[in-house]
Amino acid sequence: MKIKSVLSVILFLGMFVFLNPLQAEDKTVKLPAKEKFHIYLLIGQSNMAGRGKVTAAENQPHPRVLKLDEQGKWVPATDPLHFDKPKIAGVGPGSGFGPMMADADPDVTIGLIPAAFGGTPLSRWVKGKDLYERAVEWAKKNQDRGVVKGAIWHQGEAECKNPDLYNTYQKRLSGMIVDLRTDLNEPDLPFVMGELGEFLERPGVSTVNDAMHKISKSVPATAVASSKGLAAKSDQVHFNAKSEREFGKRYAQQMLKLQKAAKTK
C-alpha cells in the first residue's frame, strides 16, 4: 500500500509539472484588436531607459499599459520598463507616459517598446547602426499586432562634450527621424524629444536643446517635452524617479497635441 501511495504522489506531481506550463500560458496577456493596441517606441540613452529608484508602492501596473519584455512578449508594464542594464535600470519617462496615454483614450491599450540603452551616442541610433536597427526590428515585428502611434526620445548627454557632435546634432537627429518614419512606413509618425536636464553641466547642453527645438519647427509632427524644474539624482546626470514620471507626462502632453493636430488636417 505504501508503494502504491508513493507512486500516486509521484504521478500527481508529474501531472502538475506537465500541466503547469499550460496554466502559466493561460495567464499571459491577451492583446486587444490591432486597431485598439497603440504602440510607442521608447528610444535614446539612460534617461529614457530610466535610472530612478523603483519602489513597490508606486510600481503598480496600469491595467491597459503593457511593455515588450526581453523575450519579445507583451507583459504588464511594471518598472523597470527597460532591461538595458538590469543592475541599474529603474524608473524612466515611460512610467508616466504610458498611463497618461491610456487615460486619454479608455478604448485602447498602450504598448511600450523599451529600446533605449544607457550611455549611447546618436551615432548608434542612425540607420544602419545597431540600436536603430534593433528598435526598428522590434517595432516591425509587432505591426501585425498593433499600430505604431509614435516615438519618444531622450538622448544627447553623450554628445555634449564634443563640439563636432553637439554642433551637428540637429542635422543628424532630423535625418534619423526621416529614416525611422520611412522604415516603419509611417510617414507622419509623431516624434517627441525631451530636453536635457537643467542640472547637466556640460558645454553642449544648450546647443543640443536648441537643436531639438529647431527640429520641432522644421520637421513636421515633432515636438519637445520641457525639462524645466525637473530634479536630478545625486549624480547630477539622471532625473530622479519623481521627475522621470513627471517628464513622461510632459511627453504624453506633447504626443497628444501632435495626434490632435494630425486629426484636424
Q: What are the pLDDT digits (tens) for 80-117? A: 999 999 999 999 999 999 999 999 999 999 999 999 99
Strands 74-76 and 65-68: antiparallel
Confidence of residue 13 (pLDDT cuts 50, 70, 90): very low
**All domains in the chain, ordered by first residue:** 34-264 (3.40.50.1110)
Q: pTM higher than 0.75, yes or no?
A: yes
Q: Decide if pLDDT at 41 tops 80.
A: yes
10: pLDDT strictly greater than 60: no
- Neighbouring CB atoms inside 10 A of 105's CB total 14
Model confidence at 144, in pLDDT bands (50, 70, 90)?
Answer: very high
pLDDT in tens, 60-87: 999 999 999 999 999 999 999 999 999 9
Report the pLDDT value the prediction gives residue 29, as an integer from 0 to 100: 87
